[in-house]
Amino acid sequence: MIIRKKNNGLGLDKPIRKTYLSQLIASLLMISAGPVSADDIRSLPPVEVVSRYSLLGAADSANEGAVGQAQIDNRVVARTGEVLEVIPGLIVSQHSGEGKANQYFLRGFNLDHGLDFKITLDGMPINQRSHAHGQGWADLNPLIPELISAINYRKGPYYSVDGDFANAGTANIYYTDTVDRGIASVGLGQNGFYRTLLSNSPKFHNGRVLYALELSHYDGPWDNPDNYRKYNGILRYSEGNSANGFNLTAMSYSGKWNSTDQIPYNDYKNGLISRWGAMDKSSGATANRNSISGEWRQSDASGTVLFQAYVIQNYLDLYSNFEYAADSQFNQRDSRVTSGFNLARTWNIDGLGKEATNTLGLQAQNDTINNSLNSTTARVRNATCQSVIEQCRSDRITQSSMGLYAENHVHWNDWFRTVAGARGDYFRFANRGFTSSTGDNNTDTVTDFITSPKLNVVFGPWAKTEYYYSVGNGYHSNDARGVTIGSGTRSQGLVKTFGQEVGIRTEIIEGLQTTLALFQLDNASEIVYVGDAGLTEDSGRRTRRTGVEFNNYFKATKWLTLDADFAYAKARFRDAGGGKYIEGAVEGVASVAAIIDNQGPYSGSLQLRYFGPRPLTEDNSMRSDSTTTLNGKVGYRVNKDTKIEFIGFNLLNTQNSAIDYAVDSYTGVGGTSNINGPYRVFHPIESRTFRVMLITRY
């Protein structure tokens, strides 16, 4: 069988005769042949396989991986964003209402709502730069999991195709162009949960029209119900195949919810507030996202070409209160239009090693942003700004960037290959802002440029084992408001990171796939989360993270699959100016799962998740507890078209935190002023709940 080997820069390169890669191709294309992308693994039409794909001979590092729809379908997720926990070592949590962007933790990072973790959907950026509620805001609520054909992930700044935010890792999500049969599902559950989905991809003209409509609602166990209402839809027309073709896509999402934010632990411990209570019942938000995008791909004997373009409209109107006094609520509004394109060309090279390609890529993005910060009480704007921390302001930001990257991928012989690359990124930060509490006119234009060399070296395979060394620079952009600030200390526009890693990938034991990675990542200026204000800011201090990841996937029998992933990281400040611990930095993480399938009409899975303790203060005097949850589901196939799933969350009914923070002061229940902290605040995980899903294919 002739298949084409993945090139990290773009699509497909020269054919190579490696039958073990057929499992990879089949896994990613189990539902349909999805679109070619600049960093995806694409190839021939699908073939049926029963085991997980192999990445020996395909991956450029031990941390790189890909999952298909079958693996995604086996996950037990309470909210959409948790589908990314298929990425080993990643924790996806929530500290507020269901519609808010998740909190992400990976490789010693508290990534807040997405900073230093790059997420894309069909080439469109999910992270939002200079967002009103935090740099890198990445809201996955518009995602429809049933339409995902593949999630490709990488960790560390070692890949030339990755730009802004790609330091802890990158997740590239791809929707399918077609579904093999229509999907109609209805779900009901405790705490006001219901969800319906209708999707199909009938033939039209010379191609297919993929459509999907999702409606859902959830209250949660909270005394003040979330009342989360979600409306989500997609319409896509596609022609051709994964190597030569195009698609045009329109997406639309709308969400409204109440927020039960974190609550003070002391008040809860003293019986002043319920575990499910809210300090400010008027907190909540409205959000929407609409996009139009297109993709064109072409391949021939000389190489491949990919072009993606998009226009995205995002809006968020968010009311939060992290100090809990009646007049300390604040409103953050963010309205933006993001446009951009990705263009990449890969050439096959003759005469250099056994197999070689060069890739050249150009990426451009422009954000036109209107955001504001206002002091409110019960969602009514106060006459004056009530808090020193929340300085009321409005900003009109235009943030533009252009990135050029090149990569050389060479198989020198049967046991040695290299991937050498570099990218250069130019940013322009322009702001017309005004801070009402200080009278500052924050109007300026700042530009910045950064270069990022990368190198991956691979040895093997020997005895079904490969060895990797990766090294490279990355970066993240800072919030334009801090870069153009009229008074105080300005932030650097682009902050450099440096990482290196050694790793092993082995399949020496039949049926067992194992990876081990040891990494180090240095950050020139750490962005930290400020619990009192609910925002992120540049600390101006260097940090270092070192850690280990150990991942295992075992196909024990035809009907039983086991996977076990473990990770530990140490994160520390390297400069004086405070304690050495980074607040909220994740340390130990583990996930163990068992999946049963091919047992007649029955299927099921159990998933144990461990989220270890974290320092909440820079001196480590206050730490969070660990959180362990067990989720599971049992499926019964009524006939070839209909399946019923019974799903349970937090089956052990543990009473831990979904997330913890430390704050310097707060106003407690009854108006009591608590100063001279730190004090712990937390958001609880939900108690044991059950749902049932009816899924019909037509």
CA distance 318 to 96: 11
CA distance 102 to 11: 30
CA distance 590 to 549: 10
Q: For the segment 567-593, what is each residue's pLDDT rounded down to a tens digit?
A: 999 999 999 888 999 999 999 999 999
Q: For the segment 645-657, what is each residue's pLDDT rounded down to a tens digit?
A: 999 999 999 999 9
pLDDT in the model for residue 353: 83
CA distance 601 to 635: 8
pLDDT value at 93 more than 50? yes
Q: For the segment 121-176, what is each residue's pLDDT rounded down to a tens digit?
A: 999 999 999 999 989 999 999 999 999 999 999 999 999 999 999 999 999 999 99
Between β-strands 169-175 and 117-121, what pairing exists: parallel, antiparallel or unpaired?
parallel
Query: Residue 276 — left, alpha, or beta (φ > 0 → left; ψ -120 to 50 → alpha)?
Result: alpha
Least confident piece of the model among 71-75, 593-597, 627-631: 71-75
Higher pLDDT, 384 or 42: 384
Query: Cβ(239)–Cβ(204) under 8 Å?
Result: no
| CA-closest candidate to residue 401, choices 360, 453, 366 | 366
Look up the CATH number of domain 3-697. Answer: 2.40.170.20
pLDDT in the model for residue 396: 96
pLDDT band at 439 (very low <50, low <70, confident <90, very high): low
CA distance 243 to 491: 43
CA distance 537 to 425: 22
pLDDT in the model for residue 16: 31
pLDDT in the model for residue 433: 87
pLDDT value at 8 more than 60? no
| CA-closest candidate to residue 480, choices 164, 166, 131, 126 | 131
Any idea what the Cα angle at residue 79 is, between residues 686 and 336, rounded to 5°? 125
The string over 217-227, giving b where at least 16 C-beta atoms fall within 10 Å of a residue's C-beta and e elsewhere, is: bbbbbbebbbb
- Cα Dmax for the chain: 77
pLDDT value at 102 more than 70? yes
Please state, in angstroms and as integers, the Cα–Cα distance from residue 13 to each residue in 303, 565, 622, following that order: 6, 32, 52
Query: Cβ(348)–Cβ(357) under 8 Å?
Result: yes
Q: Which residues contact 277 (CB under 8 A, 6 or more apart)?
A: 222, 223, 224, 260, 263, 268
pLDDT value at 460 more than 70? yes
Q: Is 415 helix (H, G, I), strand (E, B) or coil?
A: coil
Put the strands of the sheet holding 263-264 in their side by side order: 263-264, 679-684, 657-663
Residue 45 identity: P
Strands (E), 155-283: 169-175, 183-189, 193-200, 203-204, 207-218, 228-240, 245-258, 263-264
Which secondary structure element, helix H or strand E, spans residue 480, and what is its range? helix 480-483
Query: Cβ(279)–Cβ(263) under 8 Å?
Result: yes
pLDDT band at 36 (very low <50, low <70, confident <90, very high): very low
- What the block records as the tokens of 644 is 């019923």
SS (H, E, C) 189-209: ECCCEEEEEEEECCEECCEEE
pLDDT in the model for residue 54: 80
- Residue 344, burial from CB neighbour count under 10 angstroms (0-12, 13-18, 19+): buried
Q: For the segment 409-434, what is each residue's pLDDT rounded down to a tens digit?
A: 999 999 999 999 999 999 999 999 88
CA distance 192 to 213: 20
pLDDT band at 385 (very low <50, low <70, confident <90, very high): confident
In the chain, where are the structural domains located? 3-697
- What the block records as the tokens of 606 is 């159990």
Q: Residue 145: is the preceding peptide bond cis (ω within 30°)?
A: no
pLDDT value at 399 more than 90? yes
Q: Residue 678: is the preceding peptide bond cis (ω within 30°)?
A: yes
CA distance 542 to 615: 18
| Mean per-residue pLDDT over the chain, rounded | 89
Query: Cβ(156)–Cβ(521) under 8 Å?
Result: yes
pLDDT value at 369 more than 80? yes
CA 620 to chain centre: 27
| CA-closest candidate to residue 659, choices 111, 253, 66, 18 | 111
Please state, in angstroms and as integers, the Cα–Cα distance from residue 158 to each residue in 249, 360, 452, 458, 498, following that order: 31, 16, 9, 13, 9
Q: Which residues contact 488 (CB under 8 A, 6 or more apart)?
A: none
- DSSP letters, 641-661, are SEEEEEEEESTT----EEEEE
- DSSP letters, 4-61, are EEE-SSSSEEEEE--GGGHHHHHHHTSS------TT----SPP---SS----TTT-SS
Please state the φ and ψ torsions of residue 56, each to the nearest 5 degrees: -60, 130
